[in-house]
Every structure is written in C-alpha cells, then in structure tokens.
Amino acid sequence: MTSPNAPAFPGNVSTTSIGRNTSGGDTDRGSDWCHQPTSPSTRNYGCPARLAVFAPASNQVSLTETPGSPPPPGNYFTYNSGLPAAGTNGQWVMGDWDGDGRQTPGVYGTNGVFYFTNAVGPIPSTAWLGIWFGLLAGVVPNAPIAGRFNSAVQNDCIGVTDSANFPPFGVAFVLYFTCDMTGGNPPKTFQWLSVVLPDNQGFTGTFQFGAGDYDSNGVDSVAIRRGNFIAFTNTNPTTTNATFALAQYFEPPIAGTSLFIVGDFDNNGLDSFGYFFPASGAAYFKNDLDWNSGATPGSMTVWFPLGTATTADTWSGY
C-alpha cells in the first residue's frame, strides 16, 4: 500500500543533498560536554536527551547544550533556520537524516511537504531538502513522527500520521513513512496503528505522537499520548500492524498546556516519556516505562533566547 501522494512535487525546495556533517564537525559555539557515539545501534547512548525549542511563526531554533535547569546562557545555540517560507508555522522535529549520528531539524509544513536539513545553524532556504507527503486532511491533525524505523538503514526516517473515523470504535490512525531521505517523492511504507485511546473507553484530550526505543533494540516505535495516558508499542513500523500492548499513566505535575516529548533522559539506553510546557519552558519526564511507578518525575527548564517557543522536541548528537 502506498500513501495518497498528490501528483506533483512542489518546486520551491531543493531535492539534492547538501552533504552530511563530518564526524569531527561541531557547529555549536561551546566545547562538547559529552561525546556521542555515531554507531546507529547506540545512537541514543553517550548524551542524555536535551531540549530543542522552536518558534514556528519565525522559524527560529534554540538547541540546549546541557540539560541544566536552566542551562547557563552560553549553553544555547539559537539561530534563524532559513526554512523556506512555505514551512512557516509547521510542526518541528529533530532527526538524524543522513546517518552521521547527529540530529538536525525537520518541519512538516502546512503544504504537505516535510522540509529537513543535515546542518545545524542558519543556511539558505534553497539548501533545505523536501519530501512530499501531501497528508493534510486527517480527522485528527496530521503529525510528523521521526525515528529510526528500520534497522537496515543508519539514518532516521520520517513519517506522517493520517486518521479517519472508524465507527463504532473511534478514530483510527495510520503512519506513512519513508527512510529514503534524499528528497523528492520517494515511495512510502505504512504501519496501521488502529484505534488507540478512544473516546468510547473514556479517554479525552488531544492526540500527540512520538517515537523512541523502548526495548533497547536500536529501532524506534510509536507512542501516542492522550490526556494523562500514553500507549506505546515495541512493534517497529516496518511491521504492517502495530500492537499497542503497553501503556503508562503520567499525570502532569503542573497545570497548563503541555506537549509530548520522548527521549533518553537518564542515559540508560532506553527512551521514556515527558511533557514540555511552552508557557514556562519547563519539562517533566519519567525515567521508567512502568504503568504507574509513583516515581517523582525528573525535570529540566530552558530559557527562551528566541523570545517565545510554542513547540519542542528532544535531541542528541553534538
């Protein structure tokens, strides 16, 4: 099955590679505080997850160099991304798009294009690459999910959710994804996520998505948050049908709008879940995958060198 791609790929982005970072390259302004292995089997190992915050209206990025609360002013790399104008107000993620062990930004635009770059720092808008998905009409807003979905490739992959009503059960989801990060309109693979955390079982709230490695097999799989509940799977997206047999209850420790984040916050080789609060810059996370361990969530806070931020992701690799 292929995704419902529109027939034409927009011509306002580059579809040629701008090259991968060399293993010795370092684009931030300070010395590294830890060293990140570039082996894809241990790509989350070496540095605990840090926060990347974004201002989608102005296409600015701020990457934290350390997980302090908050990190000192010199430990942010803040810049204007140079994202093509068509990506403005898009949904931002971080991923290792070229397999060099380092995560860089990507944006799913409101025009159905996923824009991405293999560089950290300002680059010309013409140097961004683009992949066409054309998924814009889900019952639940279409969302990008990034992760290493296929053990046969070294780079991260990108997918976009689609959804439709599936009565009497609720909203059903499917993930269309590609691991071909050369740009253009590559064939898409799909994973059927099915009906997860439905209304008719008492779940409420906005659906939010992420991906991580929850069983230390080096491959990422999908997690879905709704309200205080998170359903996740160890069925990797290369398997057609996902099975969400795992869940966590995680009540946010403070009030306010929060965003779902996934990362290896304690550097133990397993990803776990957290919430980012845009109003304060605070993030709260758990370091376990138990249903309800009762453990006090860890936390980190970031300043907003770019003024405001309305979305965030975790990142690693520099």
Tell me the percentage of the chain whose pLDDT exceeds 90: 63
- Does residue 167 carry a pLDDT above 70? yes
- Does residue 160 carry a pLDDT above 50? yes
Question: Rounded to an integer, what distance in angstroms lies between the CA atom of residue 266 and that of residue 272?
Answer: 9
296: left (phi over 0), alpha (psi -120 to 50) or beta: beta
User: pLDDT band at residue 11, thresholds of 50, 70 and 90?
Assistant: very low
Question: Rounded to an integer, what distance in angstroms lies between the CA atom of residue 262 and that of residue 213?
Answer: 9
Question: Rounded to an integer, what distance in angstroms lies between the CA atom of residue 125 and that of residue 128?
Answer: 6
Q: Would you state the pLDDT for residue 16?
A: 25
The pTM (predicted TM-score) of the whole model is 0.86
Q: Would you state the pLDDT for residue 209?
A: 98
Query: Which residue is it, tokens 């824009």?
Result: 115
Q: Would you state the pLDDT for residue 318?
A: 53
- Does residue 44 carry a pLDDT above 60? no
CB 59 within 8 A of CB 311: no
Q: What is the mean pLDDT of the segment spanning 124-131?
A: 94
Beta bridge partners of residue 195, listed in sequence order: 172
The closest alpha carbon to 143, from 110, 167, 121, 183, belongs to 110
User: pLDDT band at residue 69, thresholds of 50, 70 and 90?
Assistant: confident
Question: Rounded to an integer, what distance in angstroms lies between the CA atom of residue 3 and that of residue 135?
Answer: 9
Q: Would you state the pLDDT for residue 65?
A: 77
E strands, the chain, in order: 50-55, 60-64, 76-80, 91-95, 104-108, 113-116, 129-132, 144-147, 157-166, 170-178, 189-195, 207-212, 221-226, 229-232, 246-249, 259-263, 272-277, 282-285, 298-301, 311-315
Q: Would you state the pLDDT for residue 25?
A: 34
Domain ranges of the chain: 40-315
Q: Which two tokens stand for residue 275?
A: 């919430």
Q: Which CATH architecture has domain 40-315?
A: 6 Propeller (2.120)
CB 90 within 8 A of CB 133: no
